[in-house]
Structure 1
Amino acid sequence: MVAVANNGYRAIAFDFRGYGLSEQPAEPEKANFKDLVDDVVGLLDSLGTNKAFLVGKDFGAIPAYLVSAIHPERVSGVVTLGAPFILPGPNAIQSHLLPEGFYVTRWQEPGRAEADFRRFDVKTVIRNIYTLFSKSEIPIARDDQEIMDLFDPSTPLPPWFSEEDLSLYASLYEKSGFRFALQVPYRTLTVDIGIVNPKVAAPALLIMGEKDYALKLPGMVDYVRTGAVKTFVPDLDITFLAEGCHFVHEQLPEQVNPLIITFLDKHSI
């Protein structure tokens, strides 16, 4: 945000409903990705912003692309990090091709992640997730494990993620809890939101780390590297960073920021 602001752009960050400092929906379990699309458009309306570039990390890529597909007149371009275009629905992710202990499968089961996380304080949960998900292997638990059991307490934080960062992130989840974060994305990832043959006409940039565990998800490498993703996002540039992990923007900001700024400069009117 500082980098793009320093280059003359207005940077806006917000917490989706149910996250961080935003309010909790009255019935979180009824929410899905379409609600997040509405949040983005509502935010732009409230700020009097007709058109914007959308930047999304991981599951944030989904509403970023969906806003562009449903409301193309509101989007100048899309940048996503760690995740390509994915349409929520039964085929969004091929969990059946991975063991039952796959973290997405585990977190989709009502109550299971809650019980797993409840064994620890919020700061420990965030520490464990950041450390586990910065590796190049997909987090998969054995039958006698939960996802939090995969973490080795002797493992230090990644060098690019400070104790100060951890404390700030934890404070936000201490306020919001994990209820909505488990609903969207995990428990609504397979919910069809009624979009048929989506097309993202806006220019787009996908930045992924070569060491991102997400590339090991079934079909992901072929989907991205063969350009099959361009079926949905025709005007897409893809950049891989050799040492990048799933949190590539936090890990390598000196490489990611110039890529984003160059994209903004190229496609700004």
Structure 2
Amino acid sequence: MTTPTEFPEPTMIAVNGVELEVFEAGREHLGNPIVLCHGWPEHAYSWRHQMPALAAAGYHVIVPNQRGYGNSSRPDDVTEYDIEHLSGDLVGLLDHFGYDDAVFVGHDWGAMVVWWLTLLHPSRVSRLVNLSVPYQPRGEQPWIEWMDAVFGGDFYFVHFNRQPGVADAVMDEHAPRFLRNLYRKNLPHVAPEPGMMMINLARAESPAGEPIMSDDDLAVFVSAFESTGFTSSVNWYRNLDRNWHLLADVDPIIRQPALMIHGAHDMVAPLENLSDFVPDADVITLDCGHWIQQEQPDETTRAILTWLDAQGASAAT
């Protein structure tokens, strides 16, 4: 298992008008890239378990802190976190390394970015693996409007948009507690508390369930968000309806081979008609919650490599 002291040193790479903090493994395998995209509120370090194994399997592993995270740029304008910018950053990363395309892997918000990157720039994605968050069909109503109608104003996606800055301030004030309380597994089955979930987690004195990482690992996340605050990462949520409009005229079908990995105990539900939008998709479920690659690191890595090998994507070592 990789520890904070063993994690690669980053390089700052200028792309798409910003600088990204990028971690690499397997640089000797130039020509066989795989790009790992973290979610919220995460960090490139969330892929610490997968990086050495993917490099050992013959991949050039590229793991950015995406814009708004870590030491990467944090633009002030909310619209600079829309999917055109987020996908443009990843395209710029491929251009920097001289790659026409790559395998992309995403978790949580990173999965959403990878789905939409594939729609917007299909020639740049050879295959994709997404964890937790399935393809999101573009319905007739913008996403936040729909969530507001279905889940109400306290649903955190809606709250982030309708009450900008409120949750950010609470999470900033209680960053260590919030992250400690969020990164848990084996959560008890209880009715949801009233109020906004992320604010509740930031204020809760006692965490539920069990920790998914060591104190040293958690400290990497805490240090990063104590430095940046949460607003720049929350700005991703504040572009959901903008993204809905930006994707209006895009072919909604993903034609690349895809692997969807779910956690059996994840609150994020699978998409029952995934094959309507991703016809060449394989789906597996691991015995874990939402933080899949950190809860089941070996199983996640094995699933990715086994699937890529079956696709004929693995490099000769």
Normalised by the length of structure 2, the TM-score is 0.72
Q: How does 1:225-264 map to 2 (within 5 A)?
A: 226=272, 228-241=273-286, 243-264=287-308
Matched, 1:208 2:253: no
Match among 62, 70, 73 for residue 12 of structure 1: 62
CA drift at 1:102? 1.9
Query: Could you tell me which amino acid in structure 1 is paired with residue 274 of structure 2?
Result: V
**Cα distance, 1:138 vs structure 2:** 9.9
**CA displacement 1:106-145 (0-9 Å, x = unmatched):** 222212212322442x2222223323x87487995525x6
Q: Which residue of 1 aligns with 2:169?
A: 115
**Mapped pair 1:81 → 2:124:** no
Deviation at 1:99, TM superposition (A): 4.2
User: Which residue does 2:247 correspond to in 1?
Assistant: 194
State which drifts further: 110-119 or 30-39: 110-119
8 Å contact from structure 2 (residues 264, 288) kept in 1: yes
Question: What is the Cα deviation at residue 88 of structure 1?
Answer: 6.7
CA distances 1:50-83 after superposition (whole Å, capped 9, x unpaired): 1110000011112212222222221110000001
Aligned to 1:218: none
Residue aligned with 1:49, SS: coil
Q: For residue 36 of structure 1, what is the aligned residue in structure 2?
A: 86
Equivalence for 1:48: 98
- Distance, in Å, in 2 between the alignment partners of 1:138 and 1:171 is 31
Report the counterpart of residue 103 of structure 1 in structure 2.
156
Distance 2:65 2:295 in 1: 21
Amino acid at match of 1:53: V
Residue number in structure 1 paired with 2:177: 124
Compute the TM-score of the two structures, normalised by the length of structure 1. 0.84
Q: Does 1:147 align with 2:201?
A: no
Amino acid of the residue matched to residue 206 of structure 2?
Answer: S
Higher strand share: 2
Larger relative contact order (C-alpha < 8 A, sep ≥ 6)?
Answer: 1
RMSD over aligned Cα atoms: 2.6
**Distance (whole Å) between structure 1 residues aligned to residue 303 and residue 197 of structure 2:** 37
The 1:66–1:138 alpha-carbon spacing in structure 2 relative to 1, beyond 3 Å, is farther
For residues 42 and 76 of structure 1, what CA distance do their matches in structure 2 show? 16
* Greater displacement, 80-89 / 231-240: 80-89
Partner of residue 172, structure 1: 224
Please list every run of 5 or more consecutive structure 2 residues that lacks an aligned counterpart in the other structure: 1-50
Size of the aligned set, in residue pairs, is 255
The 8 Å contact of residues 186 and 209 in structure 2, kept in 1 or not, is answered as no
